[in-house]
Amino acid sequence: MNYIKINDIPILIQKSVRAKRIALKQQISGTLVLVVPKYCPVWMATAFAKSQKAWIMAHAAHPPKRTTFSPGMVIEIVGQPLTLAQGKPSHIQDGTLYLSGDLEFFHRRTCDYAKKMLLPFIQQEVTKLTQILGVSAKHITLRNTSSRWGSCSNTHNLSFCWKIAFAPLYVIQYLVAHEVAHLVHMNHSPAFWAVVDDLTPHRKVAEKWLKTNSRDLQGII
């Protein structure tokens, strides 16, 4: 693995055939990563990293926090406030999400139940928005991604990071609108953003929430 150092902070250089620009990111482990397009020279990537010294120092000093769900916590799943508790079978009753199984598996079962709640909600939103646009989506899947919250393929398959289940409802709706808009425009042109704005009024506030809370959301593993 290749590393560079900025103010004695090690940064992993990661070449990517998919990357179109140089970017910095931080893994859940706290490792800082410089994502570099395949044919971009290292000196250019290093110059970019040096220009982002303030970002690097701030993130190195405050690595992401890992979130572990446990009984008694109050969280929001797909816009529904829920108190977590152990109980059989797994179900929701009177604002409490009861999860079966041993305590050591409680976090994983919480995440599994969140996925179970998220997928049908996204499917419903996609159906509603594609009908408005007169387009169609093929497959809708949930994935564990670290660099993007959603994606739309050239074959009209949509995928979303399952962790968005724990974001506010308006954020989920915005992310769905964003990917559905790509069914019309496979770019981020002004025309694309006009479609997004037609589909949801939540764009600005959702983007602001994601900018502030993305690292915490990715801390759910």
Average pLDDT over residues 79-108: 96
| Helix, strand, coil shares, percent, the chain, to 5 | 45, 25, 35
- Which residues are CB-neighbours of 52 under 8 A, at least 6 positions away? 24
Considering 10-14, 37-41, 197-201, the range whose residues carry the highest mean pLDDT is 197-201
- Torsion, CA 16, CA 180, CA 204, CA 124, rounded to 10: -120
pLDDT at 169 over 80: yes
Please give the domain boundaries of the chain with CATH numbers for all domains: 2-61 (no CATH), 74-218 (3.30.2010.10)
Q: Mention every residue, 6+ apart, whose C-beta is less than 8 A from residue 215.
A: 26, 64, 65
Rounded distance between C-alpha atoms, residue 53 and residue 28, angstroms: 20
Residue 40 or 121, more confident: 121
Is residue 195 scored above 70 in pLDDT?
yes
The DSSP symbol for 162 reads G
Q: What is the dihedral sign for C-alpha 58, 167, 109, 157?
A: negative
pLDDT band at 1; cut points 50, 70, 90: low
Q: How far apart are CA 97 and CA 117, in angstroms?
A: 12
Q: How far apart are CA 80 and CA 95, in angstroms?
A: 8
